[in-house]
Structure 1
Amino acid sequence: MLFSEKLRKEADEIYQGIFRHPFVEGLGKGDLDPESIIHYVKADFEYLNAFMNIYGLAIAKSTRREDMAYFHEQIAFVLNGEIHPHNNLCRVAGVAYDDLKGFPLPPTADHYVSHMKSTALTGSMGEILAALLPCPWTYYEIGKYLMETVQPKPDHPFYEWITFYAEDEVGQITNELRRRLDTWAKGVGPDELEKAKVAFLKSCQLEYRFWDMAITKEIWPFSVEQEVTTS
């Protein structure tokens, strides 16, 4: 069994919890609180800025131009691709996308970003790949799950969101990250594999909590000014 297959097996309870999460169920039913959508988009915009930062750190740790080019391409995908599902959410919520940019990260999203940045700064390339992988992988599986269970038609409120993440392009991104992680795993010992597993599972847990954060509209306990530092 490949390393990524073992990781997916260990994380299955989390994945199943994500499929059953109220926010994901709301996407499928076409019924979500607009304020939860807005809270999600605000956080996800800054989270994706941080995600691109992690790809940049991966470039800095790369020794081959092929790897540098790969991570550069992933930055371009986030910049130019992920705006489409965000725009779908904003239309449903009745708000302009530009009005949701530049807000401080809520606690859970801030924790997720800190986890990824710490892993990228101090971990191996395998740990970086493992920490990044749950984002595209869980979204791809969510998209496929909703396509199978809901079978949305073009008039579904979240049709664009669901079809975007169920598309082969997101699957290819997931599979390429998996391939790179599996290749790395073949050349390292058990201690390094364990560190990568911990990074992967923590990201999976935080993917679940990210959806939770949107439903609960999570905020910091005290209202103090914060600067956005992820971009």
Structure 2
Amino acid sequence: MTFTEELRKENEDIFSLIFEHQFVQGIGRGDVSKEALTHYVKADYEYLNAFMKVYGIAISKCASREDIAYFNQRIDFVLNSEIHPHNNFCEQIGVSYEELQGFSLPPTADHYIKHMLYHAQSGTLGEILAALLPCPWTYFEIGEELIKQYDPSPEHPFYQWISFYAERRVEDTVVVMCERLDKLAEVASQEEKTKMKEAFRKSCQLEWAFWEMAFTCEEWITKKGVSVNEKP
């Protein structure tokens, strides 16, 4: 069993909870509320901005041009391809993508980003990949699960979102990330592998929490009540 196969097996509980989450199942049924979709896009836009910055930090730790090129390709994918599922949600909300950009982060998204940045700044390339991998991996499997459960037609309101994450290039992203992480794990100390496993599991847990954050429209609490997610 490879290192990433171990990771997937050890985190089956979290993956299953993600597939069962009300927001994820709502995508499959096509009935997610506009409020939840709006909250998701606002947070995910900023999350993906941070994701690209973590890739940039990974580049600064690379020893070869091959590794630099790999992370540069990943930045390009997030920057130019992952706008498509966001636009699908925006079409259902009835607002432009630009209108949902630049908002402050809800608590869970803020924590998730800081979790990734912590491993990027203080950890090895193995830790960075372990912290990043659950995002594309869970989304790819969500796409697969929703196709199996709902077999959406092109008329389904979230057909574009589901088909995007279930397609081959997202699967290839996961496969290549797993291969790279497996190679790093082969030469890693037991201490480093433990840190990689901890980073991976926490990211899985935060993936579930991100869906919950969007579904409940989570906001920061203040003495006067819940604050509104506004542009800073």
Does 1:49 pair with 2:34? no
Runs (4 or more) in structure 1 with deviation over 3 Å come to 223-228
Paired with 1:81 and 1:88, the residues of 2 have a C-alpha distance of 12
Letter in 1 for 2:170: V
User: TM-score of the superposition, structure 1-length normalised?
Assistant: 0.96
Any residues of structure 2 matched to 1:162-181 within 5 Å, and which?
A: 162-181=162-181
2:7 matched residue in structure 1: 7
**Amino acid aligned to 1:50:** A
| TM-score with structure 2 setting the length | 0.96
The amino acid that maps onto 2:158 is F
Tell me by how many angstroms 1:226 deviates. 8.0
Output the amino acid matched with 1:134.
P
Post-superposition Cα deviations, 1:5-35, rounded to whole Å, max 9, x if no partner, equal: 0000011000000000000000000001100
1:155 counterpart SS class: coil
2:185 is aligned with 1:185:
yes
Root mean square deviation, CA, Å = 1.3
**Cα distance in structure 2, aligned partners of 1:123 and 1:227:** 31
* Structure 2: tracts of 5 or more residues without a match: none
Shift of 1:224: 8.5
- The amino acid that maps onto 1:125 is L
The separation in 2 between residues aligned to 1:122 and 1:9, in whole angstroms, is 27
Q: Which residue of 1 aligns with 2:98?
A: 98
- The equivalences for 1:100-115 within 5 A come to 100-115=100-115
Range with greater deviation from structure 2 (206-215 or 185-194): 185-194
AA matched with 2:78 = V
Contact persistence 2:37–2:93 (CA under 8 A): yes
Q: Aligned partner of 2:22: which letter? A: P
AA partner of residue 68 (structure 1): I
Distance 1:53 1:189 in 2: 27
Count of aligned pairs between the two proteins = 228
What does 1:63-74 correspond to in 2, within 5 Å?
63-74=63-74
Q: Matched residues in 2 for 1:198 and 1:37: separation? A: 30
1:22 maps to 22
Contact 2:62-2:68 at 8 Å conserved across structures: yes
Cα offsets for 1:26-84 (capped at 9, x unmatched): 00000011000000000000000000000000000001000000000100000110000
